[in-house]
A and B are shown apart, each in its own frame.
Chain A
């Protein structure tokens, strides 16, 4: 656990710089979540060891590194794979939510491209596992090829694993009194496949960091015949891969399915687990030719290094997506 201190937003002289002044709050954190011990005046001032009051927000380095080439979306998401400055090599959980009018699949394509395109030389290669319930391999292949990313080559290099789950049907429960084990057959097998791939990759030392993507969760629910408990179990298992191996996870889901009734457990838990929630919505003002919709990115990992909420418009093109702030395009 690293200890770091930052001054609280309201100081005596009103500025909010990082260097401690005569008044500050103390936050203990592990780089991801901070625990506020004391905020405000001077309760801890006396016995704070000044040597440890060096705080470098772990995401800072990577942002500087990639600087100019990052677009608004990348800046809002922050590093996807891992942050080399953090004590843990933890991944992040990204949840993409879209609706019937605006598809959020392009964010997923962007993340695919970002995770398997070549990284700076010092970083280890990334393994991407894409679990698809919606589209065929050739669909992703054609799209990513236009974006300048060849997934076939990456698949041959064992850096990309495509699991086609379009025909997955979870078997019915054999007997109701027997517990749910037999019911879960399909999802248990699927998790086994993912886990094996992760373990092989990490034990063999081929790729240290793994990204798991699922397109999309609502179809996973259909495959599980609507048993959201089993879907949740599956997602929690996937989440253990994050804590155990530092995998990153990215899920696509459709928000409008859940918005009509009282919010279902599934979407609430997914939003809770997620570090970054990306919402794709149509423009509130209606249909437009040059603006395809708006993105709201909520990054829960950030205290203040980046803005927690980002909001911008986008326009999808064949080979890239343009992101811009509202009103900055004519």
Chain B
């Protein structure tokens, strides 16, 4: 969707002609950008390929629910599966413990069965001679599948990541608690990024920075908003000049709205997550598949580097679902058809109230 849009101009790069890099986990995008996967195949598709290298991704948390952790976990796991260095920072006292909760990738055998499931669920029978086209389509989205590791994996949220991914890695953890200001963390970020200088010619690998709950009140610096903004700005400029992607989650309701706006302007890609209340009857009537949803994901801004054309998505709100309680799936919202007897949600919105009046007046 986004990729085809940018390709329509005569001045953009022909993606199919551009050589795909040999490094697993990286993918060429339009306008000379290189994507890394977010760890959620659907999110990659929505964003037109993933998170571009050098971008700062912000996730606005729902303070009543931990949905941002889903995005963060998949992002981190995907990096570890691709052998990419990782810096993780959180306000907890022992951030390394969080690594134990990272999900494990679904094995390729399971993967196939999942695809099979999908086909069955679609209820679509495809004649055998067209099956190869279907395969081609999927290839486009999911990258090279034969031999090399996938660009993007499915993750099983119930299975923890295997030890060997965690042991032989350059994983850096940092606790945001306890330090009176952000200078030590800034130092840590720059030393972490310095190990991978940016070579435009031969790209070696990418690294990932994940910062959880940046504005959490237990951090001592959380009342110095300007210092935090200044940190985010310097993080952004550091990330821009290196092969890294930073994902930062923050609770927007804890900061003043003008600072939240400032942060949102600083983000290259801006997402927000929201929990779905358990018993919202109105919403349940309105949306199909409401019972499977665990939350909503909003895409506010998509990074566009080296181009002035904004990315306009087909939809900006997606439902977060857990397929078979283990893998994360994002879907467009489907509005259920409203049947005449129970569908009061539209009629009560005020503008249509006139119609009910005419019924009672009975001319």
Contact of A142 among B229, B241, B264, B306 (CB under 8 A): B306
A residues within 8 A CB of B307?
142-143, 146, 318
CA distance A321 to B309 in the complex (A): 9
B residues within 8 A CB of A146?
9, 11, 307
B96 within 8 A of A: no
B residues within 8 A CB of A219?
233, 266
B325 within 8 A of A: no
Contact string, B49-67, partner A, CB cutoff 8 A, digits 1/0? 0000000000000000000
B residues within 8 A CB of A288?
312
Contact string, A97-116, partner B, CB cutoff 8 A, digits 1/0? 00011110110010000000
CA distance A21 to B84 in the complex (A): 80
B265 within 8 A of A: yes
B5 to chain A, nearest CB (A): 8
B180 within 8 A of A: no
Contact of A258 among B9, B10, B258, B305 (CB under 8 A): B258
Contacting residues of chain B (283-325) with chain A, CB-CB under 8 angstroms: 300-301, 305-310, 312-313, 316
Contact of A316 among B11, B230, B309, B313 (CB under 8 A): B309
B9 near A317: Cβ-Cβ < 8 Å: yes
Taking CB as reference atom, which chain B residue is nearest A138? Answer: B306
Contact of B310 among A103, A169, A257 (CB under 8 A): A103
CA distance A155 to B10 in the complex (A): 26
A318 near B309: Cβ-Cβ < 8 Å: yes
Q: Known: A106-B308, A260-B257, A292-B310. Is A318-B12 also a contact (CB below 8 A)?
A: yes
CA distance A289 to B9 in the complex (A): 15
A233 within 8 A of B: no
A287 within 8 A of B: yes
B227 near A257: Cβ-Cβ < 8 Å: no
A214 within 8 A of B: no
Contacting residues of chain A (270-318) with chain B, CB-CB under 8 angstroms: 287-289, 292, 316-318
A residues within 8 A CB of B306?
138-139, 142-143
Contact string, B254-275, partner A, CB cutoff 8 A, digits 1/0? 0011100110111000100000
Q: Known: A257-B262, A318-B308. Is A142-B31 also a contact (CB below 8 A)?
A: yes
Taking CB as reference atom, which chain A residue is nearest B226? Answer: A226
B312 near A292: Cβ-Cβ < 8 Å: yes
B108 within 8 A of A: no
A218 within 8 A of B: yes
Contact of A287 among B225, B230, B312 (CB under 8 A): B312
A100 near B261: Cβ-Cβ < 8 Å: yes
B343 within 8 A of A: no
Taking CB as reference atom, which chain B residue is nearest A321? Answer: B308
A79 to chain B, nearest CB (A): 23
CA distance A218 to B258 in the complex (A): 11
CA distance A222 to B11 in the complex (A): 35
CA distance A105 to B304 in the complex (A): 12
A199 within 8 A of B: no
CA distance A100 to B298 in the complex (A): 14
Contact of A136 among B230, B233, B240 (CB under 8 A): B240
A189 within 8 A of B: no
CA distance A288 to B315 in the complex (A): 10
Taking CB as reference atom, which chain B residue is nearest A106? Answer: B308
CA distance A167 to B31 in the complex (A): 25
Contact string, A113-133, partner B, CB cutoff 8 A, digits 1/0? 000000000000000000000
A residues within 8 A CB of B229?
222, 226
A254 within 8 A of B: yes
A residues within 8 A CB of B230?
169, 222-223, 225
B residues within 8 A CB of A139?
305-306
Q: Known: A169-B234, A222-B262. Is A316-B308 also a contact (CB below 8 A)?
A: yes
A residues within 8 A CB of B262?
218, 222, 254, 257
Taking CB as reference atom, which chain B residue is nearest A264? Answer: B258
B258 near A319: Cβ-Cβ < 8 Å: no
A residues within 8 A CB of B270?
100
CA distance A77 to B9 in the complex (A): 27
B233 near A105: Cβ-Cβ < 8 Å: no
A residues within 8 A CB of B241?
136
B32 within 8 A of A: yes
Candidate in B230, B240, B270 with the most chain A CB atoms within 10 angstroms = B230
Contacting residues of chain B (7-38) with chain A, CB-CB under 8 angstroms: 9-12, 31-32
CA distance A294 to B287 in the complex (A): 32
B residues within 8 A CB of A106?
308
B28 to chain A, nearest CB (A): 15
B308 near A109: Cβ-Cβ < 8 Å: yes
A256 within 8 A of B: yes
Contact string, B32-49, partner A, CB cutoff 8 A, digits 1/0? 100000000000000000
B residues within 8 A CB of A261?
256-258
Q: Known: A226-B226, A260-B258, A317-B9. Is A289-B308 also a contact (CB below 8 A)?
A: no
CA distance A106 to B307 in the complex (A): 9
Q: List 17 A-B contacts (CB under 8 A).
A: A100-B261, A100-B270, A100-B301, A105-B308, A109-B308, A142-B31, A143-B308, A222-B229, A223-B233, A226-B225, A261-B257, A261-B258, A287-B313, A316-B310, A317-B309, A318-B307, A319-B9
- Which residues of B are in contact with A by a Cβ distance under 8 Å? 6, 9-12, 31-32, 225-227, 229-230, 233-234, 237, 240-241, 256-258, 261-262, 264-266, 270, 300-301, 305-310, 312-313, 316
| The 5 residue pairs across chains A and B that have the minimum distance between CB atoms | A226-B226, A318-B9, A166-B237, A260-B257, A142-B306
Known: A103-B310, A143-B307, A288-B312. 13 other contacts (CB 8 A): A100-B264, A102-B310, A106-B308, A146-B9, A218-B262, A219-B266, A225-B230, A226-B226, A258-B258, A260-B261, A287-B316, A319-B10, A321-B308
